[in-house]
């Protein structure tokens, strides 16, 4: 071809790729880590599109030792026939024409990943080298480039029965400030793509250090959601899944509820994570809210609390994956779906499919209602408590409740608060403590009647109000850690059923309204001894468990000491102040258990069972626990 024979289009094509090398950031955002990996996503997206179109079943990504990366798929192969307009192969065209991308023929694909989509020609322009092999119509074709310029014409290099595309490229170090592909980053996105495209097998091989992973999920986003809620307390046994077509769109939805006060709604549009949300998310939430509210109104036993949309969201974990031909994105990072159809599709499919689902799975609906009602109750209770704290401080200044026997130190780091059950144990604790740094707050036995108490009632309780005032931080949204009046908050209860009840209640209260305190490691359980063991020689030893007791007795016997007398402590009130100090309160000798968020979550689960509407689990819970208590109480 002579110079004159170049058509105007050809010249434009060449200028196009030069422009990419001159201003790479205009096409891929930046020339560091993100831009560098953007090249890979551009190529992977093309193979994913071929999978979405129903052709590719396997995608393999290989990180080579020389810094190049290879993306192999078993799709139809990029077309190689001559393009009528340009007189070059379609393959060469997509590799050299700007914006042509893999979507030069828009009718070929209904749907394609829209965030990257600058086209594989941009990858070619910014690569030190790029090599493509296409298997198609019985032949293997090959073409090669350096820095966007063709160095090998398209030629047949072999024969095959397979089809597919194989692209190898190395980002050009002249262009990028970053060097090297990041295995973890790539693996996590490929895994996400495998979740989003049910049944698609994606293999990642790292030849630099012999790592290999295969991602394939026959349950798609259902498996994804299972993974997200793996360590949570679940409201439903499984996850709810449905999908449907509406207009030009198709949506897959999967959701479940957990007891934790968290919400996670992940949206995807054409496999792009819509971090800023958008119309598809609002469509889902509106539909879910409508269905749940309607179901609540229809309950035979009238539910009095009014439900707000935030109550529907509490504990909700959802994944919404929408496929839409021409999505429009908005927002700062262009990851918010703006298209109005997005909402129509998800709203209507959710309404239709979820109503069908709940008709069959009434139990799931009832469990969700219970979760939503609890969220509403907690919201109202927290609001009341906030008003109360405000009012209290307005009326009483900084006065502390009379029931609190405070410590005298002003050093918050040394100060400790003992929460003690009952007046008698409270009395012993007051006598036993070191008043310089130990404060004591007795809680009345009355509030242990958790069975009938929702957290709403608990928050109205005088004792709990006193507790909030003593701690000083406020609760819920107004929580302020810097106002904490004690460095350790120690729950000290008897080793009996009532003790277990009050511990459950207090921990549930902390979990729901003061979880930051637990996360900061400020909440502890005192571990009083279970036994006092005395010998005829006057030795006195305390045992904190049955095993320890047995060991001590054995040791005494071996030492020839007899009349070993064992006293089982049933309550803190049985100890004299001296003993209580020695065994349970003295920082040098006591045992404390730091409460973890898991312990507290466990307590709240127990609380939920204890106060729940369902009689059966409550009954069996109380029976089981009463039984274990009885065994413990058997004296030796």
**Minimum separation from the CB atom of position 291 to ligand 0RA (A):** 41
Q: How far is CA 597 from CA 354, 418, 499, 514, in A?
A: 34, 20, 20, 11
**How would you label 583-596 residue by residue, b for 16+ Cβ within 10 Å and e otherwise?**
bbbeeeebebeebe
Per CB under 6 A, the segment of 46-54, 478-486, 519-527, 591-599 that binds ligand 0RA is: 46-54
**Residue 101 engages ligand 0RA in binding (rule: CB under 6 A):** no
Q: Binding to ligand 0RA by residue 89, rule CB under 6 A?
A: no
Q: How far is the CB of 74 from ligand 0RA (least distance, A)?
A: 9
Known catalytic membership, residue 421: yes
- Distance of alpha carbon 459 from alpha carbon 468, whole angstroms: 9
Does residue 102 bind ligand 0RA (CB under 6 A)?
yes
b/e per residue 496-533 (b: at least 16 CB within 10 A): ebebbbbbbbbbbbbbbbbbebbeeebbbbbbbbbbbb
Q: Which of 35, 79, 442, 529 binds ligand 0RA (CB under 6 A)?
A: 79
For the bound state, the minimum distance from the C-beta of residue 181 to ligand 0RA, rounded and expressed in Å, comes to 18
Report how far apart, in Å, the C-alpha atoms of 211 and of each of 36, 203, 206, 208, 216 are. Answer: 21, 11, 5, 8, 17
Q: Indicate whether 108 belongs to the interface with ligand 0RA (CB under 6 A).
A: yes
Kindly state whether residue 148 participates in binding ligand 0RA, applying the rule CB under 6 A: no
3-state helix, strand, coil in the chain (%, to 5): 45, 20, 35
The yes or no reply on residue 46 touching ligand 0RA (CB under 6 A) is yes
The distance of closest approach from Cβ of residue 523 to ligand 0RA in the complex, given in angstroms and rounded to an integer, is 55
Distance of closest approach, residue 91 Cβ to ligand 0RA, in angstroms:
9
User: Regarding beta strands 58-63 and 69-73, do their DSSP bridges make them parallel or antiparallel, or are they unpaired?
Assistant: antiparallel
Residue of 20, 39, 69, 78 that binds ligand 0RA (CB under 6 A)? 78
The nearest distance, CB 155 to ligand 0RA, in angstroms, is 19
Pick from 24, 28, 41, 73 the residue near ligand 0RA by CB under 6 A: 73
d(CA 380, CA 365): 23
Catalytic site residue from 421, 463, 582, 604: 421
496 is catalytic: yes
Smaller CB distance to ligand 0RA: residue 79 or 278? 79
CB atoms within 10 A of CB 569: 22
Question: How far is residue 229 CA from its own chain's centroid?
Answer: 7
Burial (0-12, 13-18, 19+ Cβ within 10 Å), 537: exposed
Annotated active-site residue 153? The verdict is no
Q: How far is the CB of 212 from ligand 0RA (least distance, A)?
A: 22
Taking the C-alpha atoms of residue 376 and residue 454, their distance in angstroms, rounded to an integer, is 12
Tell me if 76 contacts ligand 0RA by CB under 6 A. Answer: yes
Catalytic residue among 82, 226, 330, 496: 496
Q: Does 113 help bind ligand 0RA (rule: CB under 6 A)?
A: no
Q: Which of 47, 364, 428, 606 binds ligand 0RA (CB under 6 A)?
A: 47
Residue 164's contacts (CB-CB under 8 Å, 6 or more residues apart) are 56, 72, 73, 74, 75, 77, 134, 135
Catalytic residue among 166, 377, 494, 582: 494
58 touches ligand 0RA by CB under 6 A: no
Residues 277 and 251 sit within 8 Å (Cβ to Cβ): no
Q: Footprint of ligand 0RA on this chain (CB under 6 A)?
A: 46-47, 50, 73, 75-79, 102, 105, 108, 165
Just list the catalytic residues.
421, 494, 496, 498
């Amino acid at each position: 071809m002579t110079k004159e024979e170049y058509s105007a289009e050809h010249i434009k094509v060449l200028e196009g790729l030069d422009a990419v090398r001159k201003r790479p950031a205009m096409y891929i955002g930046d020339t560091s880590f993100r831009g560098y990996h953007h090249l890979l996503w551009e190529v992977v997206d093309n193979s994913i599109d071929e999978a979405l179109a129903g052709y590719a079943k396997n995608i393999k990504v290989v990180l080579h030792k020389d810094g190049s990366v290879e993306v192999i798929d078993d799709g139809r192969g990029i077309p190689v026939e001559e393009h009528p307009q340009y007189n070059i192969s379609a393959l060469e065209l997509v590799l050299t024409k700007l914006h042509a991308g893999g979507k030069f023929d828009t009718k070929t694909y209904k749907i394609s990943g829209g965030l990257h989509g600058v086209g594989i020609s941009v990858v070619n322009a910014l690569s030190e080298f790029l090599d493509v092999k296409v298997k198609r119509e019985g032949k293997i074709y090959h073409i090669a480039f350096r820095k966007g310029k063709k160095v090998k014409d398209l030629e047949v290099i072999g024969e095959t029965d397979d089809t597919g595309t194989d692209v190898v490229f190395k980002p050009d170090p002249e262009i990028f400030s970053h060097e090297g592909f990041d295995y973890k980053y790539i693996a996590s996105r490929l895994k996400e793509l495998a979740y989003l495209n049910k049944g698609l097998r994606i293999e990642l091989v790292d030849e630099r250090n012999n790592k290999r992973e295969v991602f394939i999920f026959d349950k798609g986003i259902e498996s994804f959601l299972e993974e997200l809620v793996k360590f949570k307390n679940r409201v439903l046994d499984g996850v709810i899944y449905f999908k449907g077509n509406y207009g030009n769109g198709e949506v897959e939805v999967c959701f479940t509820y957990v007891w934790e006060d968290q919400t996670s709604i992940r949206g995807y549009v054409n496999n792009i994570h819509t971090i800023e949300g958008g119309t598809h998310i609002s469509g889902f939430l509106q539909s879910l809210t409508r269905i749940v509210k309607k179901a609540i109104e229809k309950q035979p036993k009238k539910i009095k609390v009014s439900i707000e949309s935030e109550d529907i969201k509490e504990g909700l974990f959802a994944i919404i994956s929408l496929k839409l031909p021409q999505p429009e994105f908005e927002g700062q990072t262009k990851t918010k779906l703006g298209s109005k159809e997005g909402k129509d599709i998800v709203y209507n499919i959710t309404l239709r499919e979820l109503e069908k689902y709940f008709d069959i799975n009434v139990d799931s609906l009832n469990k969700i209602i219970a979760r939503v009602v609890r969220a509403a109750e907690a919201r109202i209770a927290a609001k009341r408590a906030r008003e109360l704290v405000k009012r209290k401080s307005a009326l009483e200044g900084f006065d502390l409740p009379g029931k609190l026997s405070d410590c005298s130190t002003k050093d918050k780091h040394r100060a400790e608060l003992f929460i003690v059950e009952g007046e008698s144990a409270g009395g012993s604790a007051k006598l036993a403590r070191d008043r310089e740094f130990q404060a004591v707050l007795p809680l009345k036995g009355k509030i242990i009647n958790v069975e009938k108490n929702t957290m709403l009632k608990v928050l109205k309780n005088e004792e709990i109000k006193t507790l909030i005032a003593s701690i000083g931080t406020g609760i819920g949204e107004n929580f302020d850690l810097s106002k904490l009046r004690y460095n350790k908050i120690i729950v000290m209860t008897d080793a009996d059923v009532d003790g277990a009840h009050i511990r459950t209640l207090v921990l549930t209260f902390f979990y729901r309204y003061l979880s930051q305190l637990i996360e900061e490691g400020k909440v502890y359980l005192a571990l009083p001894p279970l036994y006092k063991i005395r010998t005829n020689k006057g030795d006195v030893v305390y045992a904190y468990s049955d095993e320890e007791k047995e060991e001590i007795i054995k040791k005494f016997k071996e030492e020839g000491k007899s009349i070993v007398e064992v006293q089982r402590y049933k309550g803190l009130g049985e100890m004299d102040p001296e003993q209580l100090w020695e065994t349970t309160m003295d920082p040098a000798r006591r045992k404390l258990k730091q409460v973890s968020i898991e312990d507290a979550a466990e307590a709240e689960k127990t609380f939920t069972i204890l106060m729940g509407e369902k009689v059966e689990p409550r009954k069996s819970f109380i029976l089981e626990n009463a039984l274990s208590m009885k065994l413990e109480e058997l004296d030796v």
